[in-house]
Amino acid sequence: MTNFLETDQGRKIAYHKTGGEGPTVVFLGGLKSDMEGTKAIHLEAFCKARGQSFLRFDYSGHGESSEKFTDGCIGDWHEDTVAAVTALTAGPLIVVGSSMGGWQALLLARAMPERLVGLVGIAAAPDFTEDGYWAGFTDMQKEQMETQGYVELPSDYMEPYIITKRMIEDGRTRLVLRDDLNLPFPVRLLQGTADTAVSTETAVRLLDHAQSPDMRLQLVKDADHRFSDDTCLGLIEAAVAEITDLANA
């Protein structure tokens, strides 16, 4: 059964939490995805079988949570993440972020580094509003953004994305690849070479930029952005299990 958390901002966040030993694994989904996705459900079952606590939730404007997607931005979803983690978990965390959730995981690490004992990025997409969307916009799209306040972009996986001016402008205040990014815990980055949404160059840029005592990038030939076949799911499991063992050593 889905539970709901009301945040200080008045948003209702839908979540599922399963109990167990720590560190708690928190799954952060991608843009316009929800907590019913293959990776989230699979990881929940994996943690439950291991007796490890697990949290998945929907950002506002996503899934079963309140608000409209087009009203949200990176900062709002960061607030949702902080609210969910603060209210629903205790003790050490392993954060698993997929695509935009990878950016959210890095923002969470910056906000509460003392809570995290590990991070797993799956096709992590830090700074994508600036380096992906804005950098790729034509002059006409940039003008459209100014005049009508949004741009419509096609998606390989669902209906078109509505990218708002607010999302772009807020994203500029949340960038993590311009300043020092200290991740004082093990980090595992997983990336498919056939990913058309997040490039391997993005993964390498993050690897080069961040400071971590134990950071590794694993490239999977021909894996796409979903990163959800049996092989990829096994790699996610292995990364979570390895970081858990390191945290508990």
Residue 188 pLDDT > 80: yes
**Average pLDDT over every residue of 240-246:** 98
Q: What does the mean pLDDT of the chain come to?
A: 96
Q: What is the pLDDT of residue 161?
A: 82
Positive or negative CA dihedral for 132, 77, 232, 236?
positive
Q: Active site includes 195? A: yes
Beta-bridge partners for 153: 161
Percentage of the chain exceeding pLDDT 70: 99
Provide the Cα torsion 179, 184, 186, 191; round to 10°: -10
What is the mean predicted confidence (pLDDT) over 27-41? 96
Sheet of 116-122: strand order equals 3-6, 12-18, 52-57, 21-28, 93-98, 116-122, 187-192, 215-220
**Ramachandran angles phi, psi of 122, nearest 5°:** -110, 105
CA 72 to chain centre: 15
pLDDT value of position 155: 73
Residue 158 has pLDDT above 70, yes or no: no
Residue 156 has pLDDT above 80, yes or no: no
Q: What is the structure's pLDDT at 157?
A: 65
pLDDT given at position 22 = 87
Q: Is residue 154 very low, low, confident or very high in pLDDT (cuts 50, 70, 90)?
A: confident
Largest Cα–Cα separation, the chain: 56
Per the residue annotation, which of 53, 60, 65, 99 is the catalytic one?
A: 99
Give tens-digit pLDDT for 117-140: 999 999 999 999 999 999 999 999
Residue 153 has pLDDT above 90, yes or no: no
**Catalytic-role residue among 80, 170, 195, 224:** 195
Distance CA 19, CA 246 (A): 21
Statement: residue 145 has pLDDT above 90? yes
Q: Is pLDDT of 234 > 70?
A: yes
Q: Compute the chain's Rg from CA coordinates.
A: 17
Q: Which of 16, 62, 78, 225 is catalytic?
A: 225
Q: Is 99 a catalytic residue?
A: yes
User: 156 and 197 in contact (C-beta within 8 Å)?
Assistant: yes
- Using the predicted structure, report yes or no on whether residue 148 has a pLDDT greater than 70: yes
In three-state form (DSSP H/G/I as H, E/B as E, the rest C), the secondary structure along 172-193 is: CCCCCCCCCCECCCCEEEEEEC
Closest of 25, 152, 179, 35 to residue 88, by C-alpha? 25
pLDDT digits (tens, 9 = 90+) for 64-96: 999 999 999 999 999 999 999 999 999 999 999
d(Cα 186, Cα 234) in Å, to the nearest integer?
A: 18
Query: Is 199 assigned a catalytic role?
Result: no
Reported as a pLDDT band with limits 50, 70 and 90, residue 30 is very high
Taking only the tens place, the pLDDT of each residue in 13-25 is 999 999 999 899 9
